[in-house]
A and B are shown apart, each in its own frame.
Chain A
Amino acid sequence: MMTCDDFRDRAFDYLDGSLADPAAFRTHLEICPRCAEALAGIVHNGKILAAARVPAAPADLWPRIAAAISEGRPVARFRPLVATILAAAAALLVALTLFVTAGPSSRPRLDVLIVEADAEAQRGIRGLLPRYQDVDTATAFVDTFFRSDF
């Protein structure tokens, strides 16, 4: 005898007409109003869901996708990490080069350089100097290091 669990497993096969023993299924429907209601709900929902429309994709979506592909733009979720690391590395390289090549009195302050770096680079610098709580502390350390006579 078919149970409600069996009904649940076979409801879609019954509706598709692919159930091997539809008679047992129908018998269960006659004695179980709950399953009969569930089946009627599936049929009703199916018609409503199939009739519902969704908005069209924006007309300019393909040009945007094509532009992203041709620019070799990475997938959005990876962009911040890669861009941040590259920007931070570039900013640090510029800063360190200036410190090494300039004389002690003309050395620009590193914190000024970092403040001038864009927001993404600043985030990267924080990420690259995780031992320090903020850019100011890290800057003070690097600044002191390069200004000392050694």
Chain B
Amino acid sequence: MQGGDDSELVRRHLAGDPDAFRMLYEKYGEKVFASAFRIMGEHHAATDLMQEVFVKVHGELRRFKFESKFSTWLFRVAVNLAINKANEVGRHARIREKIQREGRGDPGGTKEGRPLDEQVHRALQDLSPKLRAIVSLRYLDGLSYEEISEVLDISMGTVKSRLFLAHETLRPMLKNVQLGQEP
């Protein structure tokens, strides 16, 4: 995660620059949305969550202490909110999705629909929100184990053991998925 001029943008925002917060959104919005989508498993829910995250971050930015990177703090807010929300709705949604998938052959819906994306999306829905968060932060956002441990406030050992568990769970679902056939 780049931290370079984020602190400057935060300072400009706190000093009243009306464009600074939008610039932070433009820098991180897509990445945060991607994580939210992976964890929530649904486009509309991820969109709602994004609004909640950025309104919350805007309201609490005054309390940002510049001790960690802004991006780490932003991801912490976003991922924890996403995990909590996904836990709230997760059980029922997973059951509903499983019924749709198995009953009607519904692929689960990534909206954009390459087979690879849909297979990954489906496989991830069988992980708990916490495991989805770790997989997303590692492989989608490209965070290091140390950064993931900061975002989730867990030890590096826990990050690695959860990631291992996630891989073991995903292995049977992804073993026949091949690269190189995407447009």
- Seen from chain A, the residues whose Cβ lies within 8 Å of a Cβ on chain B are 8-9, 11-12, 38, 41-42, 44-58, 61-62, 64-66, 68-69, 73-77
Cross-chain contact B120 with A61 (CB below 8 angstroms) = no
Against A, the Cβ 8 Å flags (1 = close, 0 = not) of B40-80 are 00010011101110111011000000000000000000000
With beta carbons under 8 angstroms apart, the residue of A45, A55, A77 that contacts B171 is A45
Question: CB distance A54 to B110 under 8 Å?
Answer: yes
Number of interface residues of B (CB under 8 A): 48
The answer on a CB contact under 8 Å between B174 and A48 is: yes
B120 partner, pick from A9, A48, A68, A69, beta carbons under 8 A: A48
Give the CA-CA distance A48 to B56 in the complex, in Å: 33
A12 near B160 (CB under 8 angstroms)? Answer: yes
B10 within 8 A of A: no
Bound Cα distance from A44 to B170, whole angstroms: 10
Interface hub of B135, B157, B167 (most chain A Cβ within 10 A): B167
Minimum-distance CB pairs A-B, first 10: A52-B120, A57-B33, A49-B139, A41-B171, A55-B111, A65-B54, A54-B34, A42-B167, A54-B37, A50-B139
Q: Is the interface of B mostly helix, strand, loop or mixed?
A: helix
For the complex, what is the distance from the CA of A57 to the CA of B78, rounded to whole Å? 14
Distance from A48 Cβ to chain B, minimum over Cβ atoms (Å): 5
Interface set, chain B 103-121, CB cutoff 8 A to A: 110-112, 114, 116-117, 120-121
Task: Give 17 A-B pairs besides A42-B167, A49-B140, A53-B110 with Cβ atoms closer than 8 angstroms.
Answer: A9-B157, A48-B120, A51-B182, A52-B121, A53-B112, A55-B111, A55-B112, A57-B29, A57-B33, A57-B47, A58-B47, A61-B50, A62-B29, A65-B25, A65-B54, A73-B55, A75-B55
CB distance from A17 to the nearest CB of B (A): 13
Q: How far is the CA of A38 from the CA of B43 in the complex (A)?
A: 32
User: From residue A146, how far is it (CB to closest CB) to chain B in Å?
Assistant: 42
Question: Are B174's CB and A54's CB within 8 A?
Answer: no
Give A49 to B142 CA distance when docked, in angstroms: 11
Cβ-defined contact, B38 with A51, below 8 A: no
Do residues B29 and A38 form an inter-chain contact, with CB atoms below 8 A?
Answer: no
Contact in complex: B55, A41 (CB < 8 Å): no
Q: Are A49 and B135 in contact (CB under 8 A)?
A: yes
